Amino acid sequence: MERLARILVPVDGSGASDQAVRFAAILADATGASVDILHVSYFDSSTDADEVSWLPECVAGPIGPEAEKILEGAKRLIPEAVLYEAHHRTGSPAQTILDFAEERRSDLIVVGSRRLDALHAALLGSVSTQVLYEAKCPVTVVKENPHP
C-alpha cells in the first residue's frame, strides 16, 4: 500500500462505532482518503419487525428506517472536507464487512470495540475480533472510551 486511499468504517449506532467514525474522519482528513460508512443488518427492510420481535435486539438489529438513522448519525460525524459514501447491506455483520472491504478494495478498516454483555457475546461473538483476524487489509480497533 503506497498511500491510504479508502477507509472502511462499519457502524452500528453505538458509542464505539461513533468513535471509530471520528477516528476514520481524522485519518481521512490527514491523508486525503475517502471513507466508506457501512451498516450491516441481519434482516432487510422487507422483514416485518413482528417476525423477529422474539429475537434479542443484539441479534435482530435495526430494520428499515432504524438502519437509515444509524447511517445518518454516522454521516453527521464526518467533516465537510472529507469525501464519504454511506452503504447499507444485509447479512452476517463480520462476513459482510470482510466481503465489502474486498469489493471496495479498502486500504484500512476502522472498527469500534466495546465490552459485550453475556448474551451478545454468546450469540454473536465479537464482530471487531473476527474482522481483525480475517481481514486482508490492516484493521484499526478504536475503543468506545479511549480515555476513561
Within 8 A by CB and 6+ apart from 20, the residues are 9, 10, 11, 110, 111, 112, 142
Predicted local confidence at residue 47, as pLDDT: 45
- Concatenated DSSP letters for 102-117? HHHT-SEEEEEE-PPP
Predicted local confidence at residue 34, as pLDDT: 98
Give the span between the Cα atoms of 91 and 104, in whole angstroms. 17
Residues 113 and 128: beta-carbon distance below 8 Å? yes
Nearest residue to 143 (alpha-carbon basis) of 14, 40, 20, 38? 20
Maximum pairwise Cα distance, the chain = 49
Predicted local confidence at residue 143, as pLDDT: 84
Predicted local confidence at residue 76, as pLDDT: 97
**Which domains are seen in the chain, by residue range?**
11-111+130-143 (3.40.50.620)
Q: What is the pLDDT along the chain (148 residues), one digit of tens a residue?
A: 678 999 999 999 989 899 999 999 999 999 999 999 999 987 655 444 454 444 444 444 555 678 889 999 999 999 999 999 999 998 888 999 999 999 999 999 999 986 655 555 544 457 888 899 999 999 999 987 766 5
